[in-house]
Chains A and B, each alone.
Chain A
Amino acid sequence: DSGVTQTPKHLITATGQRVTLRCSPRSGDLSVYWYQQSLDQGLQFLIQYYNGEERAKGNILERFSAQQFPDLHSELNLSSLELGDSALYFCASSDQATNEKLFFGSGTQLSVL
Chain B
Amino acid sequence: GQQLNQSPQSMFIQEGEDVSMNCTSSSIFNTWLWYKQDPGEGPVLLIALYKAGELTSNGRLTAQFGITRKDSFLNISASIPSDVGIYFCAGPNYGGATNKLIFGTGTLLAVQP
Chain A nearest CB: distance from B95 CB in Å?
7
Bound complex: CA A103 to CA B45 (Å): 8
Determine whether the beta carbon of A43 is less than 8 Å from that of B98.
Answer: no
Counting chain A residues whose Cβ lies within 8 A of the other chain, the interface size class is 20 to 34
Determine whether the beta carbon of A101 is less than 8 Å from that of B100.
Answer: no
A61-113 interface with B by 8 A CB criterion: 90, 92, 97-107
The 8 Å CB contact of A42, one of B33, B44, B48, B105, is: B105
- Point out the residues of chain B lying under 8 angstroms from A102, CB to CB: 43, 45, 101
Determine whether the beta carbon of A43 is less than 8 Å from that of B40.
Answer: no
Bound complex: CA A45 to CA B31 (Å): 17
The 8 Å CB contact of A100, one of B33, B44, B106, is: B33
Determine whether the beta carbon of B42 is less than 8 Å from that of A56.
Answer: no
Bound complex: CA A43 to CA B4 (Å): 11
Known A-B contacts A42-B106, A43-B103; A97 and B98 likewise in contact (beta carbons under 8 Å): yes
- Point out the residues of chain B lying under 8 angstroms from A107, CB to CB: 41-42
A-B contact count (CB 8 A): 61
Determine whether the beta carbon of B98 is less than 8 Å from that of A56.
Answer: yes
The 8 Å CB contact of A106, one of B40, B45, B90, B104, is: B40
Known A-B contacts A42-B103, A43-B103, A45-B102; A97 and B42 likewise in contact (beta carbons under 8 Å): no
A27-60 interface with B by 8 A CB criterion: 33, 35, 42-43, 45, 48, 55-56, 58
Determine whether the beta carbon of A100 is less than 8 Å from that of B103.
Answer: no
Known A-B contacts A42-B103, A42-B105, A43-B88; A98 and B98 likewise in contact (beta carbons under 8 Å): yes
Chain B interface residues toward A at CB < 8 A:
31, 33, 40-45, 48, 88, 90, 92, 94-95, 97-106
Known: A43-B103, A98-B92. 6 other contacts (CB 8 A): A58-B100, A100-B90, A104-B42, A106-B40, A107-B41, A107-B42
